[in-house]
């Protein structure tokens, strides 16, 4: 099908990044969030990030102007009904995703493809709660969306080929690379990445090393661009914990048990960069380890 207008649900870090790249690629975007202030903040961030691309010569001033003109916002989820494709990018909680779909479904056009940017939850289970399991799939962008090349495409058991092909066409138009993943907990990237982060938290929990020494060891010893605890802060510790819980529950293997220290940080509200405190304290000029 010819996808022209796309609805994005959620104006947070992932939603505004997805909106950014889709608008630059020429799609008309309707960005939704329950919070009007979040929508305003998303537009400011998108403009700032595209301007950074303009300053580097990656995007022209006219392309920036055209992209921003393609973005509309709404606090009414039902207004996404006439779009050709919906990408749900809300928080990584299955109950919230079900609520979003239940509200949206009665208003969707028959042809509309419904997708989720979930990083771990079963696509088959999400699809089964909708009226269009054949036109439902996982559409998992990496963070930060404008910089990361990969998009995971995940079929549920009922996803049909035209739906997959349409989403693949969007990825190709974005000049990104698609990886096809089977519908297993956390798919490919997070199935590998999150246990590494969880093990880094265990290493901290058991006193093997400090925050600084753990991150430096992986950066200098394994050539990682970012240490695992720094990366966890960037992703959001609540998201990391949610994905580990999905792995632990879905695969029934104790090796995926979330570290108690990760749970403790989340319970304290120390969720990482988005709240300025996690494994590092970001409230000053320079991030300082909290342990």
List the catalytic residue out of 120, 190, 198, 230: 190
User: 122: helix, coil or strand?
Assistant: coil
What is d(CA 89, CA 112) in angstroms, rounded to the nearest whole number?
16
Whether omega before 147 lies within 30 degrees of 0, making that bond cis, reads no
Active site residue 152: yes
Q: Which of 237, 236, 256, 234 is nearest to 246 (CA)?
A: 256
Residues in CB range of 157: below 8 A, 6 or more apart: 124, 127, 133, 183
Any alpha helices (H) in 123-259, and if so which ranges?
Answer: 123-128, 161-173, 189-205, 211-221, 228-235, 237-251
Task: Give the single-character DSSP code of 287.
Answer: -
What totals of helices (H) and strands (E) does the chain contain, helices first? 11, 10
Tell me whether residue 190 is one of the annotated catalytic residues. Answer: yes
**CB-based contact 8:15 (threshold 8 Å):** yes
3-state secondary structure of 141: strand
In the set 16, 32, 116, 119, the catalytic residue is 119
- 49 classed as catalytic: no
From the candidates 120, 140, 198, 230, give the one annotated as an active-site residue.
Answer: 140
Which one of 16, 20, 122, 152 is the catalytic residue? Answer: 152
Long-range pairs for 45-53 at CB < 8 Å and ≥24 separation?
45/16, 46/16, 46/19, 46/20, 46/71, 49/20, 49/146, 50/20, 50/24, 53/146
d(CA 109, CA 120): 27
Catalytic residues: 119, 140, 152, 190
């Amino acid at each position: 099908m010819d996808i022209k207008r796309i609805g994005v649900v959620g104006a947070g870090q992932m939603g505004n990044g997805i909106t950014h790249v889709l608008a630059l690629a020429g799609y008309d975007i309707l960005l939704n969030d329950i919070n009007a202030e979040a929508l305003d903040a998303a537009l400011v961030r998108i403009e700032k990030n595209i301007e950074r691309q303009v300053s580097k010569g990656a995007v022209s001033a006219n392309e920036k102007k055209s992209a921003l003109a393609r973005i509309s916002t709404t606090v009414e989820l039902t207004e996404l009904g006439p779009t050709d494709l919906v990408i749900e990018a809300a928080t990584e909680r299955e109950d919230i995703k079900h609520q979003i779909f239940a509200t949206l479904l009665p208003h969707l056009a028959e042809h509309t493809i419904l997708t989720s940017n979930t990083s771990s939850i079963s696509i088959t289970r999400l699809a089964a709660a909708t009226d269009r399991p054949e036109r439902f799939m996982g559409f998992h962008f990496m963070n930060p969306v404008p910089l990361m090349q990969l998009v995971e495409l995940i079929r549920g058991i009922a996803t049909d080929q035209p739906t997959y092909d349409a989403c693949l066409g969007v990825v190709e138009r974005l000049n990104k690379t698609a990886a096809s993943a089977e519908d297993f907990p956390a798919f490919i990237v997070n199935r590998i990445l999150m246990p590494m982060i969880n093990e880094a938290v265990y290493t901290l929990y058991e006193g093997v090393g400090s925050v600084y020494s753990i991150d430096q060891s992986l950066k200098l010893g394994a050539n990682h661009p970012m240490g695992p605890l720094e990366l966890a802060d960037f992703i959001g510790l609540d998201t990391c914990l949610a994905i580990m819980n999905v792995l632990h529950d879905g695969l029934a293997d104790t090796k995926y048990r979330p570290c108690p220290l990760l749970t403790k940080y989340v319970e304290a509200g120390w969720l990482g960069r988005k709240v300025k405190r996690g494994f590092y304290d970001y409230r000053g000029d320079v991030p300082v380890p909290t342990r």
